[in-house]
Amino acid sequence: MKQDLAPAERRLTTFDYVLYTALVLSWSASWYALSLQVGTVAVQTSLFWRFAIAAIIMWAWVRMKKEAMRFPLKLHLAFSGMGLFIFCLNFMLFYYGSVYLISGLLSVVFSLASIFNLALGFLIARRVPRGRVLAGALIGIAGIAFMFWPEIANQSWTGNAALGLALCIVGTLSFCIGSQISASLQQRKIPVLAASAWGMTYGAAFSAIMSLALGNSLALDFSPVYLSSLLFLAVVSSVIAFWAYMSLIGRIGSGRSGYATVMFPVFALIISAIFEGYTFPILAIAGLALVMLGNVLVLGGGKSA
């Protein structure tokens, strides 16, 4: 009989790579869709509609698969934690932080999720990170810094830039705390779809409450640009991406799954090169090589279950 391995020790299967690719591509394209929503509707309102739509789709999926929909109150505390940390605070803090920071630095900060996930896994569950995974994450973050170095070097640290950096770091930490909650739920055999549906439901509710508390309306912008970007973010960047991410957490561990936050800025630049004429300077090419090396270290190796 083969020994069951912990997710962080298991060799990736073809399906794991499919999930990982879907996740990276979905999140890479989300930045452009987000840029189409800035300034038209309050961020809390946009988040409410994004995750309300995503939750409805998730619930339909749960219903179609005939999975459980009712859970004890104790589990709802975990679901609400996922909703607050992943589907609410994470996005809001990054939105407000982005007002003061350049996009390149935002990518570097969010790529720290790969390290934060490993650290939280050790602190909470005493999961000791594998050396090659930790090394790969550090190399990948260095690669992202190389790719965006011209922007980072021009970042002014006067005024509110430090506040913006702090908000984004807390936003990344919030994302990782939610990831650890998801990991604990999967260890308790709670289905990914149902957990995600409840998490998005709570996240939408928290965003609506915050929006109304700040005096914002929940009214939508019905322009074709806003609605199309909203639907893309709800369906592709939320339903597909977070289902893939949550599934990967249970299959390969939160540390290796978190490396997707290092990969998607790379694909975002590739998308920019295709549609907006971005050209890779020498430093960016060197950074790309480091990111890919880190990817090999993080995802490669492992043992067959």
pLDDT reading at 302 higher than 80: no
β-strand partners of 303: 10
pLDDT reading at 289 higher than 70: yes
Answer yes or no: pTM beyond 0.95. Answer: no
User: pLDDT tens across 198-252, in order?
Assistant: 999 999 999 999 999 999 999 999 999 999 999 999 999 999 999 999 999 999 8
Query: pLDDT tier at 3 (50, 70, 90 boundaries)?
Result: very low
The total of other beta-carbon atoms located within 10 Å of residue 274's CB is: 9
Q: Which pLDDT score is estimated for 294?
A: 86
Q: Which pLDDT score is estimated for 52?
A: 97
Q: Which pLDDT score is estimated for 301?
A: 58
Instruction: Report, as an integer, the average pLDDT of 55-71.
Output: 94
Show me where the domains of the chain are located: 7-299
Q: Are residues 38 and 280 in contact, defined by beta-carbon separation less than 8 angstroms?
A: no
Q: Which pLDDT score is estimated for 114?
A: 84
Q: Considering only CA atoms, which of 211, 272, 204 is closest in space to residue 238?
A: 204
The three-state DSSP-derived secondary structure of 211-276 is HHHCCCCCCCCCCHHHHHHHHHHHHHHHHHHHHHHHHHHHHHCHHHHCCHHHHHHHHHHHHHHHHH
Tell me which of 76 and 158 has the higher pLDDT: 76
Instruction: Report, as an integer, the average pLDDT of 252-279.
Output: 79
The residue whose two tokens read 């991406």 is 241
pLDDT reading at 280 higher than 50: yes
User: pLDDT tens across 19-54, in order?
Assistant: 999 998 888 888 778 777 777 788 899 999 999 999
Q: Which pLDDT score is estimated for 8?
A: 60
